[in-house]
Chain A
Amino acid sequence: MKVSQISVFLENKSGRLAEVTRALADADINIRALCIAETIDYGVLRFIANDPAKAKRVLSERGFTVTETTVLVVEIEDRPGGLARVIEVLARAGINIEYIYAFLTRSEKAFVVLRLEKMEEAAQALQAARVRILTGPEIYAL
């Protein structure tokens, strides 16, 4: 149910992100979704890869500060209101979202990555509302 996400601490200097993407490319790792949160001094790259354990290992070996976090990935309709429905479920359940990002595939569905304050409760609330939650292997196979 929960999906593993890899996060990397990146100082704001040119070429740093390129080193990450090159390392992943060389290790034949595919990135399914990513986002970067930034401050004036540094950024945090978060991504979902087809092989999280390997991604983490490869980056750690190259001296990056890496952490693995669990997130929920849910499927939404790729049309107006698709995201609103999911967010409203969480709002009604009183669950705060730490961060959120979305990605598309070549289908009629869109996917939302959620890091939530109460992951278990959130999963239950979403399932009760018949929101489809994806497993790791399902995402890697998208």
Chain B
Amino acid sequence: MAQAFFWNREAECLPRPELEKLQVERLHRVVAAAIERVPLYKERLGQAGITAGDITSLADLRCLPFTTKEDLRDTFPYGMFGVPMEQVVRIHASSGTTGKQTVVGYTRSDIGVWAEVIARTLGAGGTTGGDIVQNAYGYGLFTGGLGLHYGSEALGAAVIPLSGGQTKRQVQVMQDFGSTVLCCTPSYALVIAEVGAEMGVDFSRLPLRVGFFGAEPWTEGMRTEIEAKLAIDALDIYGLSEIIGPGVAYECLEKAGLHIAEDHFLPEVVDPETGEPLPPGERGELVFTTLTKEALPLIRYRTRDLTVLDDAPCACGRTCRRMRRVTGRSDDMLIIRGVNVFPSQIESVIVGIEGVAPYYLLVVDRKPGKMDELEVRIEISEDIFSDEMKELERLEQRVLSEIESVLGLSVRVKLVEPKAIARSEGKAKRVVDRRDLFK
């Protein structure tokens, strides 16, 4: 077995009965706080006739109603905050289904919890105070950058806040500053490897030792490739901004599933159709209840991520349950370069442009050593077809800039002939994902 490292051995290896006792206490507390402070929960739980007093065991969890991304959208921006703004010290956001972002808030305590779970994440890969963490997750509204940043500092490592992009500079810094830990999306890790190789860098001679890669789905094949090319251990990290951001679950060096920080986030897997909880080992939709979050307490939040829970003990000694790699979505959301993309966002742009047929196809691809690419194919119609190239380019440019401003992601627009996009009678096929991430 791999060597086991811990940032917080006590919390991560708490005997199950103690952990479950703690979870029930915290669940009771979060339900009480949600009913008291969040109107939506007051109303919804009130209608269901549930009070915090009803929560006496983890089995009571299944009586609670679900929370969805739509709830956050309906209460945009701060309607589900559980504290007054005086106590909120940070706001992040991610894209939503209809152009409105999903806004999340943090109290000082929430920021502390977040840093703690990231410190556990980094610690599980053997990171210590002596390490130099090159953080190439994007800094900004996206939770990746600042999440890893504060977690690295909490652990006592030296963090280099490079943010994403400028790949040659990333490689240069890695060489000059002697980075030992890399944090970024897995596809960007491969870009760094590719660019480094072009620059003649032999990564096996650099002190880089381990990487924490997340914010997008990836595969065992990519792990093998990253580990070989960068000469490191590549670990998966999972999270979503609604729950806290990265750090909700993380791999240890066993690389056998992601340990969920269960003392803070209570997981379930449910049947996405019926909502019925599924036993460990069965694939379904991951649902989280935040146990310690103050600014945005969420009860049974539907992540739409499909995975399997594993309650078998891990060789590392952690007692918290593991989730397998996310193997799909129960909605049509795509994750491209760490950005959430809903096809409906693109549709709303296209139907707003006169003369463009309401047919589109999204083609997602990940070429070796390159970042994910999103190609938006739209059909040219005789109404808008001009034989002057500049008119066609103007049209492409307009579609491109409107989509990019809605998604916050660069895309490629391709004009295709009419009827080139298949019409279907039922649910139209709007996405071709060539990344094969879920196979």
Q: Which residues of A are interface residues toward B (Cβ below 8 A)?
A: 5, 7, 9-11, 37, 39, 41-42, 44, 46, 60, 63-67, 69, 98-99, 115
A39, A67, A99: the one within 8 Å of B382 (CB)? A67
11 cross-chain CB contacts under 8 A: A9-B380, A11-B420, A41-B414, A42-B416, A65-B380, A65-B417, A66-B382, A66-B385, A69-B387, A98-B388, A99-B388
Nearest CB in chain A to that of B420: its residue:
A11
Given contacts A9-B417, A11-B420, contact A67 B388 (CB under 8 A): no
Bound-state CA distance A41–B393 (Å) is: 11
Nearest CB in chain B to that of A41: its residue:
B414
Greatest chain B CB density within 10 A among A41, A44, A46, A99 is at: A41
Bound-state CA distance A114–B425 (Å) is: 45
CB–CB B416/A11 < 8 A: yes
CB–CB B382/A65 < 8 A: yes
Residues of chain B lying within 8 A (CB to CB) of residue A60 = 382
Majority DSSP secondary structure for residues of A touching B: strand
Q: Sorted from nearest, which 8 A-B pairs have the closest CB atoms?
A: A7-B387, A41-B414, A65-B385, A67-B385, A69-B387, A37-B389, A11-B417, A44-B387
Residues of chain B lying within 8 A (CB to CB) of residue A5 = 387
CB–CB A42/B415 < 8 A: yes
Majority DSSP secondary structure for residues of B touching A: loop
Instruction: Decide yes or no whether B418 CB sits under 8 A from chain A.
Output: yes
Residues of chain B lying within 8 A (CB to CB) of residue A9 = 380, 385, 415, 417
CB–CB B418/A67 < 8 A: no
Bound-state CA distance A58–B418 (Å) is: 16
Residues of chain B lying within 8 A (CB to CB) of residue A65 = 380-382, 385, 417-418
**Total count of chain B residues near the partner, CB < 8 A:** 18
Bound-state CA distance A11–B415 (Å) is: 8
CB–CB A44/B382 < 8 A: no
Instruction: Decide yes or no whether B386 CB sits under 8 A from chain A.
Output: yes
Nearest CB in chain B to that of A42: its residue:
B415
Instruction: Decide yes or no whether B367 CB sits under 8 A from chain A.
Output: no
Residues of chain B lying within 8 A (CB to CB) of residue A66 = 382, 385
CB–CB A39/B389 < 8 A: yes
Interface residues of B in 374-423 (CB under 8 A from A): 380-382, 385-390, 392-393, 414-420
How close is A36's CB to chain B, nearest CB, in angstroms? Answer: 11
Bound-state CA distance A39–B391 (Å) is: 13
Residues of chain A lying within 8 A (CB to CB) of residue B417 = 9-11, 63-65
B381, B385, B388, B418: the one within 8 Å of A63 (CB)? B418
Residues of chain B lying within 8 A (CB to CB) of residue A64 = 417
Interface residues of B in 16-35 (CB under 8 A from A): none
How close is A73's CB to chain B, nearest CB, in angstroms? Answer: 16
Query: Scoring B residues 270 to 290 as 1 if CB is less than 8 Å from chain A, else 0, what string do you get?
Result: 000000000000000000000
Bound-state CA distance A42–B392 (Å) is: 10
Bound-state CA distance A44–B414 (Å) is: 14
A11, A41, A115: the one within 8 Å of B388 (CB)? A115
Nearest CB in chain B to that of A64: its residue:
B417
Residues of chain B lying within 8 A (CB to CB) of residue A11 = 416-417, 420
Residues of chain B lying within 8 A (CB to CB) of residue A39 = 389, 392-393
How close is B418's CB to chain A, nearest CB, in angstroms? Answer: 6
Residues of chain A lying within 8 A (CB to CB) of residue B390 = 98
Residues of chain B lying within 8 A (CB to CB) of residue A42 = 392, 414-416
How close is B162's CB to chain A, nearest CB, in angstroms? Answer: 32
A41, A63, A67: the one within 8 Å of B387 (CB)? A67
